[in-house]
Each structure stands twice: as C-alpha cells, then as structure tokens.
C-alpha cells in the first residue's frame, strides 16, 4: 500500500459538524472512509496553523486516494489537499533511475 498525507481546512459548515461530532467522531468517520476504499488511517492530528487537520493514510492506490479526496471535497465541509508520500527507499530507487533528459537550451 502507498502512504498519503491529506491536509484539510474546515469550512464554516464543517466546523459546525466538528462541534457536533467532536474530534473523536471525525476520526471515526475518517477511519470508516479509508476502510471503505481498502485502506486505513495511520494517524490523524488536529492543529493550529495553515491546516486544521493532518491525516496519514495507507491506501491501495492513487484511485482510492482520489476517490476519498473527491468525496470529502464534494461534501462542502472541508477544503483538502492530497500529497503522495515516498519512503526513503523509494527515493533511493528514484535516485538510481536512469533518465534521458536535456535541459532547456542544452
């Protein structure tokens, strides 16, 4: 499975839902959503700053991540961003990958 970081900022509507459900209720909803696409929530944190929520998920593929992002975004309760996370080993493999590239003007 691949790891994804979802960052989210609550809309006014989403904040009303958070006040109703509480933080733990929203964690349960996130877990249920991830499990519904064959994944799981690794960690979920609330924060001060640029984003209200950080969620790290293990998901089967990009399609599952896109499905989650689309459904959550369409709900109107959160504005989200999705980041694909790479392991150090994946970066090592990428660094060893041969690439045929010509720089602009080169």
pLDDT (0 to 100) of residue 62: 96
Average pLDDT over residues 65-91: 96
Using alpha carbons, list the distances in angstroms from residue 23 to 2, 14, 43, 88, 101: 25, 12, 13, 32, 48
pLDDT (0 to 100) of residue 11: 97
CA 56 to chain centre: 6
pTM for this predicted structure: 0.89
The sheet with strand 78-85 has its strands ordered as: 40-46, 53-59, 2-10, 78-85
* Predicted confidence band of residue 106 (pLDDT cuts 50, 70, 90): confident
Average pLDDT over residues 86-93: 96
- Token pair of 49, please? 């700053």
pLDDT tens track for 3-52: 999 999 999 999 999 999 999 999 999 999 999 999 999 999 999 999 99
- Token pair of 63, please? 């399609």
Domains in the chain, please, with CATH? 2-96 (3.30.70.260)
């Amino acid at each position: 499975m691949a790891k994804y970081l979802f960052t989210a900022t609550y809309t006014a509507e989403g904040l009303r839902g958070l006040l109703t459900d509480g933080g733990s209720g929203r964690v349960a909803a996130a877990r249920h959503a991830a499990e519904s696409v064959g994944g799981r929530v690794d960690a979920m944190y609330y924060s001060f700053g640029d984003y209200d929520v950080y969620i790290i998920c293990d998901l089967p593929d990009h399609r599952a991540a896109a499905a989650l992002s689309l459904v959550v975004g369409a709900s109107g309760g959160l504005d989200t961003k999705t980041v694909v996370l790479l392991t150090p080993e994946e970066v090592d493999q990428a660094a060893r990958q041969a690439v045929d590239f010509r720089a602009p003007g080169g």
